[in-house]
Amino acid sequence: MKISEAAEDFLTVGRIAVTGVSRNPSGHGSNAVYDRLLERGYDVVAVNPNAEAIRDRPAYANLAAVPGGVDAVVIGTRPEHALDTVKEAVELGIKKVWMHRSVDAGSVSPEAVTYGREHGLTVIDGGCPLMFGGASDGFHKVMCAVLKLTGQVPKTV
């Protein structure tokens, strides 16, 4: 499936969790994703085991703790935490996972990608939800084009 199709499918789900959202947002890509999705009207929740609230909104320790569950998850933590999140998504029946990646290694874990796909998940292994659809802006669209050339945004998933 083309990345644009996978991104559109991801961004049309009901509720999205973003892991790694920090109480101290400076330099955290997950905070940018969380904030933009909120601004654009998405039903989004923060996941951070060390915070009860982010920006006066509840934060949850893990995916299982979110009341009513979620339909998709953006992984914004370090790559070594991605596999645990993907395993939790599998256990909870969450079928869509996006491992955030910009100009650095981001949150992509090859082991987590393989595990998720072997268990029937759609795993977007790179790029950022802010590069696509209603969540995007001009800056992120340009970044997307450039990062596709370097392989940091996959062309297919």
The tens digit of pLDDT for each residue in 64-120 reads 999 999 999 999 999 999 999 999 999 999 999 999 987 677 899 999 999 999 999
Residues 44-53 pLDDT 10s: 999 999 999 9
Confidence of residue 26 (pLDDT cuts 50, 70, 90): low
Q: 41, exposed or middle or buried, with CB in 10 Å at 0-12, 13-18, 19+?
A: exposed
Could you give the residue ranges of the DSSP H alpha helices within the chain? 3-11, 29-39, 79-92, 110-118, 138-150
* Superfamily of structural domain 3-150: NAD(P)-binding Rossmann-like Domain (3.40.50.720)
Q: What is the pLDDT of residue 106?
A: 85
Average pLDDT over residues 141-150: 86
Q: 59 to each of 48, 63, 124, 139, 143, how far by Cα in Å?
A: 6, 10, 24, 28, 29
Q: What is the pLDDT of residue 25?
A: 65
Q: Which two tokens stand for residue 153?
A: 């945004």
Sheet harboring 57-60: ordered strands across? Answer: 53-54, 57-60, 43-47, 15-19, 72-75, 96-99, 122-125
Average pLDDT over residues 14-31: 85
Domain borders along the chain are: 3-150
